[in-house]
Amino acid sequence: MQFSVEKDHSPGQWVLLSYRLPREPSTPRITVWRKLERLGVARLGDGLVGLPADGRTREHLDWLADEIGEAGGTATVWLATPASTSHERTIAKAMQAARAAEYRSVIEQAQGALGSIEVRRVQRRLRAELRRIERRDFFPPSEREEARAAVAVLGADQDVPR
């Protein structure tokens, strides 16, 4: 699901995860951090992250809260609405910028693979990477279509006889 943050749009609902984990052992903290990165959360403060609310994002943060509790930490999931559209827009723009950087990396890798003998393998890997990025892309930047096109060109490159 994609969300939109327009100037005439009232703030939407967000699902927040407030959590705290013991410093040692560090493995649960690293695991939680990696899962949060895969989800594409907005980091709102120390131990506070958020995502636009829908059934999927709520479920993911509920599961993560359970894991944090099992690892000896504390976690609470909240539903909240930003106080203003400008606050929500600021959060959305930060999330959008993070995804744009990921798409730019895909574009660079695709361009670097043009003419390579491993172009099919690179294309498969980049298609998988695009799917992973798109799952956490709530506010798609223009780089999204550019990355899709760059990966598609890799397939077209194979159609040309050498």
Q: Which domain holds residue 141?
A: 97-157
DSSP 162: -
pLDDT band at 115 (very low <50, low <70, confident <90, very high): confident
Boundary-marking domain end, from 28, 55, 81: 81
Same domain, 75 and 22: yes
* Strand stretches in the chain, DSSP E: 14-20, 42-45, 48-52, 74-80
Per-residue pLDDT reduced to its tens digit, 37-79? 999 999 999 999 999 999 999 999 999 999 999 999 999 999 9
**pLDDT higher than threshold 60 for residue 5:** no
How far apart CA 98 and CA 6 sit, in angstroms, is 19
Q: Are residues 65 and 103 in the same domain?
A: no
- List the CATH number of the domain containing 21: 3.30.70.240
User: What total of structural domains would you count in the chain?
Assistant: 2
- Token representation of residue 16: 């927040």
Tell whether 24 and 68 lie within a shared domain. yes
